[in-house]
Amino acid sequence: MSTSFSSLPIISLSSLSKASCDEAELLRLSAELDHVFSTTGFAYLTDLPLTYTHEDVFGICDEFFGPNGVSTEEKMKLAKRTFVPGNKNTYRGYFPPQQGSDNLKEGFELGTPSTLPSSSSPNPKFNLTEPNVFPSSQSFRTKCETLHTELQNLSTKLLSLLAVSLGKPSTFFENYLTNSLSTLRLLHYPPVPASRQQELICTPHTDSGILTLLHQDSTGGLEVLNSKNEWIPAPYVPGSVVVNIGDLMAKVSGGRWVATLHRVRAAKRNADQVKGRHSVPFFFEPGAECVVRSLDGEEVIYGKHVVEKMSGWVEFQDVIEEEESGLRGVPKAVEVY
Ligand SMILES: O=C(O)CCC(=O)C(=O)O
Ligand SMILES: [Fe+2]
C-alpha cells in the first residue's frame, strides 16, 4: 500500500560506483529500495553510476525536438506505421502529437542497440523485436544507444538489489535480461497556452511494467498520489533520476511493492519555458518470451503483457482501415507505460 508521504525519498547510489562494493553497504541499499517500493513506490536516485550528465540527456532531446532539431519531414519518416501507413516500423520510432486528445506530447522511442532474435508476436500488428529507426545524425544515434545501455546496466543492478531484498539470490531476476525489450523514450510536451497552465499534460496512470527510470527537466509538473489521495509534487532534484515500479513488478512481489499513480501538470509558464517540457523515461522490460513469475505463483509471458497494455494505445486502433473508410477518430489514449 502507498503511504501518506509528503515528498519523495532520496536514495544515494554512491556505493554502486565504488570499485569494490562493501557487502554490508549493498544490503543496506537493498533494504532502502525495498522500503521505498513498499511505501511511496517512487524515489529519487542520486550519485548515479552513469557517465553522462542531466544536461547531456536534455541536449539529446533538443537535438531531436529543438528548433534546429529533426525536421517534421524526417520525423514522419521515422513515425510508426499507425501514423504513416507506408512505414515499416510498428513499435519503435516517432509518435506525433495526437490532435484532438488532451495529451499533446510527441515522442521518440528506441529499444536495445543489439539485434534481437525475432519472436512470434502475440499480435501481428506489432513487431516487438523490430530494429530501431534513427534520424540521419550518427552522433544522435550513438548518444541514444549509450543512454539505453547505461540505463539498462543500472536497472540490472537495481534488480539484483531488489532480488536480495526479497530474500532471493541476486540473480533471481536474471531471466528478465535475455533479449530485454527495454524502451528509452524521449518525450516533448509542447508549451501550453497561458489559459491551460496547471492542466494535465499526462493523465494519471501507473506504469504497467517492471521498473522505470525517469530523467525529467527542471520544468516541474510531475506529481505522485499518496494514500490520502493528495497529489505530491515531484520536482526535479539536481543530478537525480526518479525511479518507480510498475504494475507487473508489484504483482511479482506479491503486492509487497506498490505501483503508484502519477501524472504531469503543465507548469506555470515563465519566460524561459518556451520549449515546453522534456522528459526521458526508460522502461526496463524483460524479453518478449520471458516468463514473469510472481511470488504467489502466477505467470505471464512478457510479450503478451505488453500487447495487452497497448490495447488502449492509438497504435492498437485499426487506423489504416479507419482512414480508408474516412472514419479516423480521436484515439482512445496515447502511450503510457
Ligand atoms: O513526463 C514525465 O515526467 C512522466 C512520464 C510518464 O510518467 C510516463 O511516460 O510513463
Ligand atoms: Fe509513467
Atom of ligand 1 nearest to the CA of 279: 1
In a domain, 331, yes or no: no
The verdict on residue 1 lying in a domain is no
Domain containing residue 129: 10-321
Residue 269 pLDDT: 65
User: Mutation test of ligand 1: which of 202, 205, 232, 336 has the most ligand atoms closer than 8 Å to its C-beta?
Assistant: 202
Residue 230: count of CB within 10 angstroms of its CB: 12
For ligand 1, what atom is nearest to the CA of residue 187?
A: 1
Residue 225 has pLDDT above 50, yes or no: yes
Closest residue (by CA) to atom 9 of ligand 1?
336
- Band (pLDDT 50/70/90 cuts) for residue 100 is low
C-alpha 246 – ligand 2 centre gap (Å) = 9
Instruction: State the complex-level ipTM.
Output: 0.99
The answer to whether 163 and 172 have CB atoms below 8 angstroms apart is yes
> In this predicted model, what pLDDT tens digit does every residue of 234-248 receive, in sequence order?
999 999 999 999 999
Ligand 1 center from residue 96 Cα (angstroms): 16
Task: Kindly report the CATH number assigned to the domain that includes residue 118.
Answer: 2.60.120.330
Atom of ligand 1 nearest to the CA of 281: 9
Residues touching ligand 1 (Cβ under 6 Å) are 187, 202, 207, 214, 216, 222, 262, 264, 279, 281, 336-337
Residues 14, 271: Cα–Cα separation, whole Å: 36
pTM of the model: 0.93
Which ligand does the CA of 222 lie closest to? Answer: 1
**332: in domain:** no
Per-residue pLDDT at 317: 63
The verdict on residue 63 lying in a domain is: yes
Cα of 262 to ligand 1 centre, how many Å?
8
List, for residues 25-66, the tens digit of each pLDDT value: 999 999 999 999 999 999 999 999 999 999 999 999 999 999
The reported pLDDT for the residue numbered 324 is 43
Whether 335 maps to a domain, the answer reads no
pLDDT of residue 233: 96
Of residues 125 and 89, which shows the higher confidence score?
A: 89
Closest residue by Cα to atom 2, ligand 1, is 279
Q: pLDDT above 70 covers what percent of the chain?
A: 90
Q: Residue 272 pLDDT > 80, yes or no? A: no
Let me know: does 184 contact 282? Beta carbons within 8 Å: yes
In angstroms, the CA 255 to CA 153 distance is: 26
Which residue CA neighbors atom 5 of ligand 1 most closely? 281
What is the pLDDT at residue 103?
A: 64
Distance 145 CA to ligand 2 centre (A): 21
- Could you report the per-residue pLDDT of 7-33, keeping only the tens digit for each? 999 999 999 987 777 889 999 999 999
The answer to the question of residue 326 being in a domain is: no
Cα-to-centroid distance, 22 and ligand 1 (Å)? 34
pLDDT in tens, 148-179: 999 999 999 999 999 999 999 999 999 999 99
The atom number, within ligand 1, closest to the CA of 283 reads 10
Structural domain includes residue 66: yes
Distance of CA 171 to the CA centre of its chain: 23
* CA 24 to centroid of ligand 2, rounded, Å: 32
Distance 209 CA to ligand 1 centre (A): 13
Alpha carbon nearest to ligand 1 atom 1, residue: 279
| Band of residue 318 on the pLDDT scale cut at 50, 70, 90 | low
What is the distance in A from the centroid of ligand 1 to the CA of 7?
A: 18
172-213 pLDDT, tens digit each: 999 999 999 999 999 999 888 777 778 888 989 999 999 999
Q: What is the pLDDT of residues 112-137, one digit of tens each?
A: 999 999 877 777 788 999 999 999 99
Determine phi and psi for 175, rounding to 5 degrees.
-65, -15
**CA-to-CA distance for 44 and 32, rounded, in angstroms?**
12
Please choose, from the candidates 86, 87, 67, 152, the residue with its C-alpha nearest in 3D space to the C-alpha of residue 114.
152
Residue 327 confidence (pLDDT)? 39
Residue type, 197: Q
**How many domains does the chain fold into?**
1
Q: What is the pLDDT of residues 273-301, one digit of tens each?
A: 567 899 999 999 999 999 999 999 999 99
Q: Assess if residue 310 is contained within a domain.
A: yes
